[in-house]
């Protein structure tokens, strides 16, 4: 019965004009692209990648619009985002106009969208390799940094003796930017790759340690007292009270660490690696090949966005108990 009502709600016919905004924006952009000829002095002015992407996006937006006509839940979500998506598309329209159409910006630093898109076609094999390399470097750094960070965070947060000795050292070492460690890392580690992993892991370690220990130190004292009167030992208090209560804080540390690890990635990939998005961007920048730089930047941005979205999903699943308590 309840199932039936749910389905009826889902399958209700309806229309919201905001769902159609992306289609309108795409049509305007396409018309601009087709009707205004490319500037005679623009390089690679015969490329039509942007046009193809717009056609493809138009087909998708029509499909999505059709879906919104029938499904209520999707309609409310999609129509809410309608203005944003439309604005996003028009922004690219403006970019297209000021670059390849009228050459209002120096084209060496502001290449046309066609050329940026072309990088994904020409360099796709190599970019995939770079993504794989960056991804494994990032994951290794994150895992090492997180494991060691949670461990030291617990020590510093839980034990007064460890806190006395370790905390000042963490305070001194932590804020040093990753890139300044490069000379030392190269000496300390047998291969440049290990050094690169270390650079990423270091930043992650600091963030996680600080937020883990502060999370553990700010556990309400009465939780421990109540737990003790129910027969818990000291160690049980740590694992059953302190760590679960510190989890939101640890997750916040992990979120910060992820953001800073992308910064560290650029520094880490200066060290003797032969592929990687950060390395690719640095290399192309020196070649003054800005289309490739932008292509690399977009990859990093999308990658970072997806990674953090995934993290939020995991957090919501694990920390459902604190819904409405903390928002970030």
Partner 1 sequence: MVAAKLTKQREGMGNITARDIGKEFIRPDGKRTIALSNLNVDIKAGEFICLIGPSGCGKSTFLRLIAGLSKPTFGEIRLDNQLIKGPGYERGLVFQDSTLFPWLNIYDNIAYGLKIRRVFKQHKQDVNEFIRLVGLAGFEKAYPHQLSGGMAQRASLARALVSNPKILLLDEPLGALDAFTRMNMQDEILRIWKERDTTMLMVTHDVDEAIYLSDRVFVMTPRPAKIEEIIEVNSGRGENRGRQRDSGDFLRLRSKILQILDFTGKTPPPEYYL
The answer to whether the CB of 278 falls within 8 A of the CB of 199 is: no
220 in contact with partner 1 (CB under 8 A): yes
Q: Cα torsion for 59, 65, 66, 70, to the nearest 10°?
A: 160
Q: How far is the CB of 127 from partner 1 (least distance, A)?
A: 42
C-alpha closest to that of 124 among 60, 49, 192, 30: 49
234 in contact with partner 1 (CB under 8 A): no
Q: How far is the CB of 224 from partner 1 (least distance, A)?
A: 9
Give the residue with the Cβ less far from partner 1, 323 or 327: 323
Tokens of 255: 């979120």
C-alpha closest to that of 201 among 156, 126, 268, 134: 268
183 in contact with partner 1 (CB under 8 A): no
175 in contact with partner 1 (CB under 8 A): no
Tokens of 213: 């220990």
Run of H or E including 97: none
Give the residue with the Cβ less far from partner 1, 179 or 228: 228
Site string for partner 1, 307-326 (x = CB under 8 A): ------------xxxxxxx-
Run of H or E including 295: helix 290-318
Q: How far is the CB of 226 from partner 1 (least distance, A)?
A: 5
Under rule CB under 8 A, which residues in 235-254 are in contact with partner 1? 236, 240-241, 244-245, 247
Question: To which residue do tokens 């770079």 refer?
Answer: 130
190 in contact with partner 1 (CB under 8 A): no
Using CB under 8 A, list all residues that contact partner 1: 220, 222-223, 225-232, 236, 240-241, 244-245, 247, 319-325
């Amino acid at each position: 019965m309840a199932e039936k009502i749910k389905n009826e709600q889902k399958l209700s016919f309806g229309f919201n004009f905001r769902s159609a905004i992306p289609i309108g924006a795409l049509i305007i952009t396409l018309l601009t692209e087709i009707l205004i000829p490319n500037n005679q002095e623009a390089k690679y002015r015969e490329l039509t990648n942007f046009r193809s992407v717009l056609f493809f996006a138009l087909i998708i937006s029509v499909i999505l619009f059709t879906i919104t006509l029938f499904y209520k839940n999707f309609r409310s979500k999609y129509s809410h985002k309608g203005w944003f998506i439309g604005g996003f598309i028009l922004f690219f329209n403006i970019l297209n106009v000021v670059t390849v159409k009228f050459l209002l910006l120096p084209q060496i630093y502001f290449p046309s969208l066609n050329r940026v898109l072309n990088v994904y076609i020409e360099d796709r094999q190599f970019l995939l390799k770079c993504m794989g390399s960056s991804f494994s470097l990032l994951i290794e750094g994150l895992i090492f940094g997180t494991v060691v960070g949670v461990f030291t965070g617990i020590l510093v947060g839980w034990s007064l003796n460890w806190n006395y000795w370790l905390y000042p050292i963490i305070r001194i070492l932590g804020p040093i930017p990753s890139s300044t460690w490069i000379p030392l890392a190269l000496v300390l580690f047998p291969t440049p790759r290990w050094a690169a992993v270390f650079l990423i892991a270091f930043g992650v370690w600091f963030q996680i340690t600080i937020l883990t220990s502060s999370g553990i130190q700010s556990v309400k004292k009465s939780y421990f007292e109540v737990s003790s009167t129910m027969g818990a030992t000291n160690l049980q208090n740590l694992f059953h009270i302190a760590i679960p209560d510190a989890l939101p804080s640890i997750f916040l540390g992990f979120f910060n660490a992820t953001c800073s690890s992308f910064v560290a990635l650029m520094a880490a990939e200066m060290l003797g690696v032969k592929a990687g998005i950060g390395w690719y961007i640095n290399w192309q920048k020196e070649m003054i090949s800005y289309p490739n730089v932008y292509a690399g930047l977009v990859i990093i941005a999308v990658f970072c966005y997806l990674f953090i979205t995934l993290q939020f999903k995991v957090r919501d699943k694990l920390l459902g108990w604190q819904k409405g308590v903390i928002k970030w």
